Amino acid sequence: MNFKKVLAIAATGSVMIASIAFAQVSIADLTASLRSLSAADQAALLAALGGSTATPSGFQFTRVLKLGDVGNDVKMLQQVLNSNPSTMVASVGAGSPGYETMTFGPATKAAVIKFQNMYASEVLYPAGLQAGTGYVGNMTIAKLNSLLSTSATTEETTTEEVSTTEEETYTSSDATEGSISVTQNPSPAAGTKVYENKADVAINAWKVKALDSDMTVKRVAITFTSKVWRDINKLSLWDGDTELKAFTSLSQDQFTEPTSGTYKLVFSGFEVVVPKGTTKVLTVKTSANSVFRSAGTPVTMNLIANGIRAVDTAGLSQYGPDAALSRTYTPTSAINPQLAVRLNTGDVDQTIRVKTNDVTPGNVVAKFDIESKDASTLVKTLTVTTTQTATDATGISLWDGETELANAAITAASQSITFSDLTINVAKDTIKTLTLKADFGTVASSSNGNSFSVTYASMTGEEEDGDALTAPAAASSKTSYIYSAYPSLAFLGAPVTKHTKSYSGDTEYTETSIQFSVTANVDRIYIPISGGATTTVVNVGSATSTGTWFFACTTDSSHQDASYYWVDAGSTMNCKVDTKVTSGSTGGNYYVTLTNVKWYRTATTTALVTQTWPSLSTVFKTATFNMVAN
């Protein structure tokens, strides 16, 4: 089938098409021949077969038109577009010359974009646009009406309607008009920090969805609000892990300036196929110079309106998004965080009650504070060393609040343990408290009084700018003592009574009384009457003093004898240590602290425990008082 034969078919006239033309040739031959013609010849042939593309005399467009609109003015719009081979809605089938429709579909939008690009100086640039949008607004309406007013047009009606079946015969099964939906991808987030000397940092990304057809993305146009080539040396476009296009050794020559202070860069020369109905994420990444000229100043990057061009399987270019999509990023000078690990103030020497016939899990044995100043820190591994009298503890776990991060077994009295695969984020100028908990196995009575402690040894991870962190110095926990039975001590008060000199030769002194309770847990506790608790007088500065103390507990004769007091399991006894403090040759400020409490688990001195926890010297104490010299 050749062009002469097709023209011969046309020459028979519309009345003879059904009876003669399709009797001579197959539909496939006719379709192939039509597609071999130029756009102008196709328009002329189809006009001869179906009708004219002329609009009525005096017609003017009066309303804004967009994708999805329906009306006679849409049909008139298609007729105007079809009058120029460069802006035809379609070469065959619905929307083609002579077969204009009243529906504003994707093909009409694509043709409008071509029209707007053709007359860009009149309809786009005055509106601040760089590429057609497919939206028939006031500027486009004015140009359409201008063309109509300068052309003598007459209306001819179509004398033949093409059935749906006949329209489909003109369309190849793999040639379908489509469109794209372009939306902002959530990641990277606005305000992403780009640090000096960092490569391929994602600063913007968009989701491109193919609608109605496979779409091949061929162009991405972006703009910046500053002269970015001063601080970055590379801009690249990525499809997942595949780099599609890159501009390296950035310079002003690679950018255009469509408006003052706006710098445009166009990625082209690549192809990314987005299958029909699926979405791909396109990402722009940047590589920074070693030193920034404008550190700290946010930069706005725009995907311009219709900045992404994709081609459908019908060969038509489609554009998106309808409006610009913006993201900011901030060039940031490298900052090394000041990282420190300290013992939490809540970490104190303590007693842990363990069972002699079962496991005792989840005992808090250490609390460490990680502080990150000036920048944030990501901790990926943490190494600790456990030290115990014997292998009483069988496991240890790391916690962030109520969340368990990792755990490990303990098999030796001294053991180094590394918790790995961590993602502990310590925000800038904040403190993260981590807790360590130990599991104790079945403990023999001979283990009473054994100790357990933990030392933070080292950590690895990343600083905010991606550099490896510098591990802070080691820090050790307080000591935990394990007992199957033990007393709980509670501070009750510490009154102070001062005796001042009243006559020559009189002596200045102060009487204090540190009062506390003793509660026996599990089993009876024995406290020696002689030396059951002691105090220490603390001289502040250069002050000097002497002190005497007296210990006693309040009970009846059924709970004491000549050697000791005893507290039955579950019971509480109140005790005190009275101390008389006499100033020395130098007066000044003083206070008194409880030094220790001694107790037994049996009525014998062979199992004496001298308890200094929990923090007796810092919690069980008097207020500071003053005395003059004697």
Domain ranges within the chain, ordered by starting residue: 1-36, 45-168, 179-332, 338-484, 487-627
Phi-psi region of 600 (alpha: psi -120 to 50; beta: other; left: phi over 0): beta
Can 45-168 and 179-332 be said to share one CATH topology?
no
Query: What mean pLDDT do residues 277-304 have?
Result: 91
Least confident of 14-28, 82-96, 289-303, 557-571: 14-28
Q: Which of 514, 438, 489, 470 is nearest to 597 (CA)?
A: 489
CA distance 27 to 457: 82
Which residues does 448 contact at the CB level (< 8 Å), separation at least 6? 482, 483, 484, 485, 601, 607
Q: Which of 350, 368, 300 is nearest to 330 (CA)?
A: 300
Q: Which of 66, 151, 70, 161 is nearest to 116 (CA)?
A: 66
Is residue 542 pLDDT above 80, yes or no?
no
Q: Using pLDDT thresholds of 50, 70 and 90, give the confidence band for residue 213.
A: very high
Q: Considering the chain, what is the average pLDDT of its residues?
A: 84
Q: Which of 415, 422, 341, 407 is nearest to 385 (CA)?
A: 415
Query: What mean pLDDT do residues 117-138 have?
Result: 87
The pTM assigned to this predicted structure is 0.47
For the stretch 14-44, pLDDT in tens is 333 333 333 344 444 544 455 555 544 554 4
Is residue 468 pLDDT above 50, yes or no?
yes
Residue in the block written with tokens 């500053």: 226
Strands 192-195 and 325-332: parallel
Query: What mean pLDDT do residues 165-174 have?
Result: 36
For the stretch 372-394, pLDDT in tens is 987 889 999 999 999 999 888 99
- Length of the chain as a residue count: 630
Which residues does 150 contact at the CB level (< 8 Å), separation at least 6? none
CA distance 478 to 368: 11
Q: Which fold has domain 338-484?
A: Immunoglobulin-like (2.60.40)
> How does DSSP assign 148-194, residue by residue?
HHTS-------S-PPPHHHHHTTS-TT----EEEEEE-S-SPTTEEE
pLDDT of residue 483: 83
Q: Using pLDDT thresholds of 50, 70 and 90, give the confidence band for residue 169.
A: very low
Query: What mean pLDDT do residues 187-194 have?
Result: 90
Q: Using pLDDT thresholds of 50, 70 and 90, give the confidence band for residue 53.
A: low
Is residue 230 pLDDT above 80, yes or no?
yes
Residue 224 in 3-state DSSP?
Answer: strand
Which residues does 430 contact at the CB level (< 8 Å), separation at least 6? 371, 372
CA distance 174 to 106: 17
Is residue 164 pLDDT above 80, yes or no?
no
Peptide bond into 258 cis (omega under 30): no
CA distance 370 to 427: 10
The CATH classification number of 179-332 equals 2.60.40
Give the tokens for residue 326: 């913006």
Strands (E), 410-508: 414-419, 424-426, 430-440, 450-463, 475-476, 480-483, 486-493, 496-499
Q: Which fold has domain 487-627?
A: Immunoglobulin-like (2.60.40)
Greatest mean pLDDT range, 230-244, 350-364, 444-458 = 230-244
Query: What mean pLDDT do residues 541-562 have?
Result: 86
Indicate the class that CATH gives domain 45-168.
Answer: mainly alpha
Count Cα neighbours of 334 within 13 Å in the Cβ-side half-sphere: 15
